[in-house]
Structures are given as C-alpha cells and as structure tokens.
C-alpha cells in the first residue's frame, strides 16, 4: 500500500489537474447524455508525466482536459 490519499469524491466531469471541464464523452454517457462518436482524447497521446500527476490526484479515475494536454505538449517543446 502506497499510503497516498485518493479523492474519490471529485467531480469526474472536471479536469483532475486544473478543475476545468474535461469534455469526457464517457462521463457524459454515464450521466445519461446521448453523445455520438468517440471522446476527443482517443487519438491523442498523453505524456507519462502528465498521467502520473493525474494519477496522484485520484488514482487515474478522472480525465485530463485538452487545455492541460496541450500545455504539457507546449512545455515539452512538441
């Protein structure tokens, strides 16, 4: 056991890193919304360090928003 605390009460429709809307299609479907097509993130590559930061927050249960993903890419010098 790692001893870290994971917040299970987070709003899954919000980005785990910045708190902005994450536009997750799966979350919207879970709330009963009808959404066509795959989520915006399906064809994107998330850097391991970004996924690790998100996982520290909630064990990887919430999605990262496109703005945080884009910022991480800019920080890495795409």
- pLDDT tens digits along 10-28: 677 889 999 999 988 888 8
Q: Is residue 9 part of a domain?
A: no
Structurally, how many domains does the chain consist of? 1
Q: Is residue 15 part of a domain?
A: no
The burial class, CB within 10 Å (0-12 / 13-18 / 19+), for 4 is: exposed
**Is the pTM of the predicted complex or chain greater than 0.75?**
no
Q: Is residue 13 part of a domain?
A: no
**Per-residue pLDDT tens for 45-74?**
999 999 999 999 888 788 899 999 999 886
Which domain, by its residues, includes 32? 25-75
Q: Is residue 61 part of a domain?
A: yes
Structure tokens at 30: 């879970």
Q: Is residue 71 part of a domain?
A: yes
Q: Is residue 59 part of a domain?
A: yes
Q: Is residue 32 part of a domain?
A: yes
Structure tokens at 13: 């429709």
């Amino acid at each position: 056991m790692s001893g870290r605390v994971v917040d299970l009460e987070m709003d899954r429709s919000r980005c785990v890193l910045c708190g902005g809307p994450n536009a997750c299609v799966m979350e919207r479907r879970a709330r009963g919304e009808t959404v066509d097509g795959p989520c915006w993130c399906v064809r994107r590559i998330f850097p391991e360090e970004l996924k690790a930061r998100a996982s520290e927050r909630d064990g990887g249960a919430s999605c990262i928003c496109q703005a945080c993903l884009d910022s991480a890419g800019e920080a890495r010098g795409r």
